[in-house]
Amino acid sequence: MSKATKQFQTEVKQLLDLVIHSLYSNRDIFLRELISNASDAIDKARFEAQSNESLLEGNSDWKVKLIPNKDAGTLTIRDNGIGMSMAEVEENIGTIAKSGTKSFVQAMKDAAAAQQPELIGQFGVGFYASFMVADKVVLTTRRAGDAAHATCWESIGDGSYTIEDCTKAERGTEIVLHLKEEFKEYLDEWKIRSIVKKYSDFIQYPVCMDITRTETPKGVDGEEIEGAGTIEKIEEQTLNSMKAIWARPKSEVTEEEYKEFYKHVSHDFEDPFKTVHFAAEGTSEFKALLYLPAKKPFDLFMAERKRGIQLYVKRVFITEKCDALLPDYLRFVRGVVDSSDLPLNVSREILQEDVQIKRIQKSLVNKILSTLSDLKEKEYDQYLTFWKEFGPVLKEGLHFDYANKEKLQELMLFQSTRTAEGEYVSLKEYVERMPEAQKEIYYITGEDKSSLEQSPLLEAFNAKGFEVLFLTDPVDEWVVQSLHEYQEKSLKAVDRGDVDLDSEDEKKEKEKKQEEAKKEFGSLLELIKGRLESKIKEVRFSNRLTDSACCLVADDFGMNANMERIMKAMNQAVPESKRVLELNPDHPIVKVMGNMYKQSADDARLLDYADLLYDQALLTEGTPIKDPLKFTKLVSELMVKAAQ
């Protein structure tokens, strides 16, 4: 293939501009990213060589080589890892505008400067950090096992790149950075040493560099030869310690080392929120170093996200994202697991079914949940910070992880009618402060606390002093389908079915009043039901309204307004469902309509009022009304008549 010049896609041009000019606040990071990529390539070569030894090509001396050249102004990063074919170069380097990149670019534009570091590393943009310090990048690569084909890729970061066939004697990848004049300090030995020590000391392969030293020749007795001048001596030195951090005792690992390893495995620029380092023995032996991030990853709720933690077997890399090790609701956890029990030739299919993997998963989940439980009990403010970031994801476990349901429900936090802004209540605290007369745990689902606080559905509960939980995450509609009770107290939605809030004496009194109301207004209810027959299932007097005129409620197992909104937002077909219109028999509007009906059952205004009541109920629950023009016209006419 002759040299071909190709254009980056529009999103990639924008991404390059972001990376070069604003993405990274610390330019030293470019070297960490490239060394990390080289380490990953060696990991993959070692793994593939387990089943195909010919890929080693007689060379298993794994290393990453750094080659500064002050005369040429270049810094070369060379590895003998798996390498890439031309198609892989096109896929991984040439065109990175995959499913998430456009979203990433838009998020970067929208995010404030302080938030930007949270997004770094989510879409594999580490390689492009090279353009922060280089005005030209040349990548030469050959895939292991294919000696006849190598690829050369070159770009100056201007929106285009060239790609062509070439020759390369050894497998692996070599990246040559032509440094900008103002960044030539990255060719100094001290600068390279300090970056490798700070960011890549834990890489398990040697990061090497040729070091030149000036010496005076010595005689056979070891003494310097006087007047012999000096000679230059070059020796290859390893710049990193290569200690697998997860295999070391916790007492030997510093906080700084934990932080830097987290940044290596997560490509996050912030420090981790929590570090969990432990070793398991017994039926399953493994070492694990897990991290809870401080901020949710950018792609946390994206369907195409990659999840899981790195899996090693006896220090040999197996897979980058082993999703079999953790359930989906813990997909934000980062880190490494190194097993002593799994076979080195383990495949992806075996990982999904392997008994040892399931045992490791159970142990990891238990450790993470117990860590969160301890944090909640001992450092509540810290736990609250974590919950605000990852609470909605953790809730998914209640629906999918029945085995850990009891542990998970103790970790749940909710806002409620009694919590101030920013405060939360646990289920345990809720039950402890329930009035003696309260029989159930009450909740309401919706978009946010401020709108739910205004709901007329809460009136009777507030009057009784019964606390109502606000469930404002979309996942909550599925959570409550699994969380039926807590400490033998049933969970009850305030917007579904009928509610029983009263003592026996109060119930008798209310039933008596409702019977009287039905006698007085029964025909009016029939008229309203006939008018709204296509929209509602039933009209009845309410036990939950004290001040408002009306509200809409679903059946016990019916679809409420919030669920309808969620399904529409997901572009899902919403099955036709009718809710119940409840009226407050003590409200003046009901009495006014009752008198109008007595005077003339054919009064046309009654039908208009029925429409207004229904639209009013829709508006108070946050549902758009079907005919806003008619609604405003009727309200205007009423205002005119009232003024006259």
Q: Which residues pair with 233 in a beta bridge?
A: 213
In a shared domain, residues 482 and 531: no
Q: How confident is the model at residue 117 (pLDDT cuts 50, 70, 90)?
A: very low
What DSSP letter does each residue of 193-216 carry, written as one string?
Answer: HHHHHHHSTT-SS-EEEEEEEEE-
Q: Any idea which of 14-23, 234-243, 262-271 has the lowest mean pLDDT?
A: 14-23
Question: Which comes out higher in pLDDT, residue 369 or 354?
Answer: 369
- Provide the pLDDT for residue 12: 64
Final residue of a structural domain among 208, 238, 268: 238
Q: How far apart are CA 206 and CA 186, in angstroms?
A: 19
The number of folded domains in the chain is 4
CB 409 within 8 A of CB 433: no
In a shared domain, residues 461 and 586: no
- Provide the pLDDT for residue 109: 56
pLDDT in tens, 466-482: 999 999 998 888 888 88
**What's the domain range around 224?**
12-238
Q: What CATH number has the domain bearing residue 445? A: 3.40.50.11260
522 Cβ neighbours under 8 A, 6+ residues apart: none
In a shared domain, residues 515 and 484: no
Q: Any idea which of 7-16, 278-287, 440-449 has the lowest mean pLDDT?
A: 7-16
- Give the CA distances from residue 516 to residues 142, 313, 505, 541, 622, in Å, rounded to whole numbers and listed in that order: 88, 76, 17, 11, 32
Q: How far apart are CA 502 and CA 513, in angstroms?
A: 14
Q: What CATH number has the domain bearing residue 79? A: 3.30.565.10
Give the strand pairing for 231-238 and 274-280. unpaired
Task: Mark the binding-site residues for ATP, compressed into ranges.
Answer: 33, 37, 79, 84, 92, 98-100, 122-127, 173, 348
Q: Is 122 a residue whose pLDDT tops 50?
A: no
Mean pLDDT of 559-566: 80
pLDDT in tens, 49-69: 988 999 999 898 999 999 999
Q: What CATH number has the domain bearing residue 372? A: 3.30.230.80
Q: Is 430 a residue whose pLDDT tops 50?
A: yes
Q: How confident is the model at residue 120 (pLDDT cuts 50, 70, 90)?
A: very low
Final residue of a structural domain among 434, 460, 493: 493
In a shared domain, residues 175 and 202: yes
In a shared domain, residues 164 and 31: yes
pLDDT in tens, 129-179: 888 899 999 999 999 999 999 999 999 988 788 999 999 999 999 999 999
Q: What is the mean pLDDT of the chain?
A: 85
- Provide the pLDDT for residue 57: 92
In this structure, the number of other CB atoms found within 10 A of the CB of residue 249 comes to 8
pLDDT in tens, 180-236: 999 999 999 999 999 888 778 878 899 999 998 888 777 777 777 777 777 788 899
157 backbone dihedrals φ, ψ, rounded to 5°: 70, 25
Q: How far apart are CA 275 and CA 273, in angstroms?
A: 7
Mean pLDDT of 336-342: 86
In a shared domain, residues 489 and 511: no
- Provide the pLDDT for residue 106: 58
Q: Which two tokens stand for residue 236?
A: 């290859």
Final residue of a structural domain among 493, 527, 542: 493
- Provide the pLDDT for residue 304: 62
Q: Residue type at 591?
A: K
In a shared domain, residues 445 and 510: no
Report percent pLDDT > 90 for the chain: 45
pLDDT in tens, 504-554: 888 788 888 888 888 888 889 999 999 999 999 999 998 889 899 999 999
Q: What CATH number has the domain bearing residue 623? A: 1.20.120.790
Within a domain: 498: no
- Provide the pLDDT for residue 306: 65
Question: Which comes out higher in pLDDT, residue 354 or 119?
Answer: 354
In a shared domain, residues 231 and 353: no
Q: Is 113 a residue whose pLDDT tops 70?
A: no
In a shared domain, residues 176 and 230: yes
428 Cβ neighbours under 8 A, 6+ residues apart: 410, 487
Task: Mark the binding-site residues, compressed into ranges.
Answer: 33, 37, 79, 84, 92, 98-100, 122-127, 173, 348
Within a domain: 397: no
Mean pLDDT of 341-345: 68
pLDDT in tens, 63-99: 999 999 999 999 999 999 999 999 888 877 755 434 3
Q: Is 124 a residue whose pLDDT tops 50?
A: no
Number of Cα atoms under 13 Å in the Cβ half of residue 503: 6
- Provide the pLDDT for residue 351: 62
Report percent pLDDT > 70 for the chain: 89
Q: Is 125 a residue whose pLDDT tops 70?
A: no
- Provide the pLDDT for residue 99: 37
Within a domain: 3: no
- Provide the pLDDT for residue 112: 44
